[in-house]
Structure 1
Amino acid sequence: MPETSDSSTESGLDAQTQRKVVRERYASIATEESEAESSCCSSDDSCCSPGETTAPTDETARQLGYSDADLDSVDGNANLGLGCGNPQAIASLNAGEAVLDLGSGAGFDCFLAAQEVGETGRVIGVDMTPEMIKKARANASQNGAENVEFRLGEIEHLPVSDDSIDVIISNCVVNLSPDKPQVFDEAFRVLRPGGRLAISDVVLTAAVPHEVRADPDSVASCVAGASTIDRLETMLDDAGFESVRISPKDDSDEFIRDWDDDYDVSEFLVSATITARKPEVADE
C-alpha cells in the first residue's frame, strides 16, 4: 500500500513490518495468562505502552474517562486497559443504531455500545488479530451480548458492507495503521449518509525523535505512528467527511508521560477526540 509522503508524521517502518509488529504485540496481549496485570495494556501506562505494569486495569480505565458504572456493567476480561480515551463519551449512541468498532480488541467498547443501542441495535467489532477475536467472542458469550459480533479483518479493508453503519468508534487504533487515508476511506464507505465518526486516538504535537520513529516497539505501542492534527484533518476532508473536529485532551499528559521509561512521550504526543460526519445524500 502507498506510504504517506509526510515522513515526519508517520512511522519509519514499511507497511508490512508495521502490521506484523502490531499483530504480534496484540496477539501476545490476548494470550497472556495473567489477564488483569500481565501486559503493558493492562497497566496505568494505558494504550499499548512498553512500560512496566504498576496499577490495576480498572484504574487505567478511570484515567481514560470510563466510569465505575461502565466497568461494573461488563463481565469477564473484556477491559484490558487498552486505549487513550473513551469513545463512548463522544459517540452519543441511540437505541437501534448500528455501531462499528475499529480495532475492537477484547470487546470492552463494543459491549458498552451494545448497552446504549439496545436489542434493536447491533455492534460489530473488527480486529486483525485472531487471538483477540477469539477472546472477544468468549467475552460476548459471557456477557450474553447477542447484538454484538466480532469479525476478523484489517481496518484498511473492512469486512462490512457499504452504507450499513450509523456510528464508527475506535480507541487508540488508527495511529497503528500504516495507511490512515485508506482507513478513513473505508470508514466513509461503510457509514450510512449522515453517519458519524467518533474516535479517541493520539496525535502529534511535535516531531517524533528519529530513533523512536523506526523502533518497532514504539510503533506497536501507539507512540511512533501518530499523525499531526493538520494531517488528520486533511485525510478526513479528502475521504469526504464534513464537520471534522479534532480536540486534544490537555490532561492526557498525566498518563501519556509514563508510556516509556526512557523518554517523556507527552513532549510530542497527546490524546484527542476525533469526530466527523458523512454528508447526507441530497434529495433527488
Structure 2
Amino acid sequence: MADSTSCCGGAPAESRSTSSADATRAASADSVRDQVRQDYAKVANASNAGTSTGVVESCCGVAGDAQITSLISTRLGYSEEDVSSVPEGADMGLGCGNPRAIAGLSAGEVVLDLGSGGGFDCFLAAPEVGAEGRVIGIDMTPDMVSKARRNAERGAYETVEFRLGEIEHMPVADGTVDVIISNCVINLSPNKAQVFREAFRVLKKGGRLAISDLVTTAELPKEIRESKELFSGCMAGATLIDELETMMRDAGFCEIAIAPKNESKDFIRDWAPGRGIEELIVSATIEAIKPNGCC
C-alpha cells in the first residue's frame, strides 16, 4: 500500500486537514476575543468619560451612568452599601449576579476574579479576606486593567492587584488560589473548556469556584449564536447546563452545582427586548470544588 506522505516527506493529507481545521478554529477564537476586547474597551472608556456606551444594552451596555449601574447592581443582589463602598466607577453594571454572595470568603484567603472589569467584585472581596488575604483580578482588556488599577489606587486597596491576561491562559501560578469568582464573563470565552482547565490548575487542592454566569436552557438559534453584538452582550456565548457541567467534570472538578435563577429572566428580557432571549437564557450560580483526592 502506498505511503500517504509525499516523496518530500510532507504530512499525510489527514494531518494537513486537521492542522488546517485547528488553525481555522484558532483564528475564529482570536476574532471573537478581539471583538470582545474592542467592545469592552469602549465600555471602559465611556465609563471614564461619564457617558453611556453604544454597545448592545445588556451586561455590557450601561457603563458610564452611575445611577443606572447602581440600580442594576442592587437588582443583581448587591446591597446599596456594597455599591457605595467602592470607588466611583468601579461598579460598571456588567454582571448577571453576585458571585461573592456564594463564595463564603474567609480571612487570609487568596481570591482570583476572572474578568475583573473595573474591580467591583475585587474591592468587595478585599475586606472579607482581610490584610492577610489577597485578591487578584484578571482582564484581557488593557483599558479595563488600567481603570481597575486607578480605582485601586484611589481606594487604597493594598491587597488587591490587577493583571492583564486571558482567562484561557491565566497569569497565575499553579495551586496558589483558594477561591475563583467571576461575574458574567466565562460566557464570553470561545474556549470555555480551557478556562475550566486553567481554573483547576491555579486552584489549591480543596479550592472552589463561585461563579455567576449565563447558561442556556435550550439550543440557541443560529441567528443568535452568530451575532457578534449578542456575543459581546453576554448572550450568544452562553452554554447548555449539561455541556458546562461536562466541561467542569472533565477539567477535574467535583461537587458541581449549577443553579439557574429564573427571576433573572426579567432583566435578561431588558437586554434584548422583543427577541425572546429570556426564554432561552438564564443567569445561574456555578459552584465546584477541586478535590483533595478522589471525589
Q: Is this a same-fold pair by TM over 0.5?
A: yes
CA positional deviation for 1:49: 5.0
| CA drift at 1:39 | 2.6
2:53–2:61 contact (8 Å) kept in structure 1: no
For the residue of structure 2 that corresponds to 1:96, the secondary structure is coil
Within the candidate set 59, 66, 73, 1:47 is matched to 59
Aligned to 1:9: none
Distance, in Å, in 2 between the alignment partners of 1:117 and 1:36 is 31
Give the drift of 1:165.
0.2
Aligned-partner SS, 2:271:
coil
Kept in 2: contact 1:164–1:191 (CA 8 A): yes
Q: C-alpha distance in 2, partners of 1:107/1:33?
A: 13
Q: CA RMSD in A?
A: 2.2
Q: Structure 1 residue 35: deviation in Å?
A: 5.3
2:131 counterpart of 1:116: no
SS of the equivalent of 1:232 reads helix
Deviations 1:243-277 (A, max 9, x none): 00000001001100111135122011000000000
Q: CA deviation at 1:54?
A: 11
Match of 2:258 among 230, 243, 246: 246
1:263 to 271, 275, 288: 275
Distance 1:190 1:121 in 2: 16
From 188, 196, 200, the counterpart of 1:188 = 200
Does residue 91 (structure 1) correspond to residue 67 (structure 2)? The answer is: no
Correspondences of 1:28-39 after superposition (within 5 Å): 28-32=42-46, 38-39=52-53
Q: Deviations over 1:139-171 (max 9, x none)?
A: 000111000000000000000000000000000
**1:68 alignment counterpart:** 80
Secondary structure (helix, strand or coil) at the match of 1:222 reads coil
**Partner Cα distance (2:274, 2:171) in 1:** 39
Q: Which runs of 5+ in 2 are unaligned?
A: 1-17, 19-26
Structure with the higher fraction of residues in helix conformation: 2
The CA distance in 1 between the partners of 2:116 and 2:48, in whole Å, is 20
Larger Rg: 2
Does residue 143 of the first structure (1) align with residue 143 of the second (2)? Answer: no
Q: Which ranges of 4 or more aligned residues in structure 1 deviate by more than 6 Å? A: none
Change (3 A) 1:64 1:74: same
Q: Return the letter of the residue paired with 1:110.
A: C
| Structure 1 counterpart of 2:39, from 25, 29, 34 | 25
Equivalent of 1:223 in 232, 235, 239: 235
What secondary structure does 2:72 align onto? Answer: helix
Aligned residues: 268
Tell me how far apart the structure 2 counterparts of residues 67 and 33 of structure 1 sit (CA, whole Å): 21
Are 2:58 and 2:272, in contact at CA under 8 Å, matched by a contact in 1? no
**CA shift at 1:212, angstroms?**
1.4
Distance 2:209 2:114 in 1: 11
Contact map agreement 2:58 2:234 (CA 8 A) in 1: no
* TM value normalised by structure 2: 0.86
Alpha-carbon deviation of 1:281?
4.3
Q: Deviations over 1:218-251 (max 9, x none)?
A: 1111010010110011001000001000000010
Give the structure, 1 or 2, with the largest relative contact order (CA under 8 Å, sep 6 or more). Answer: 1
1:8 match: none
Work out the percentage of aligned pairs sharing the same amino acid.
Answer: 56
Give me the whole-angstrom Cα distance separating, in 2, the residues matched to 1:246 and 1:36: 36
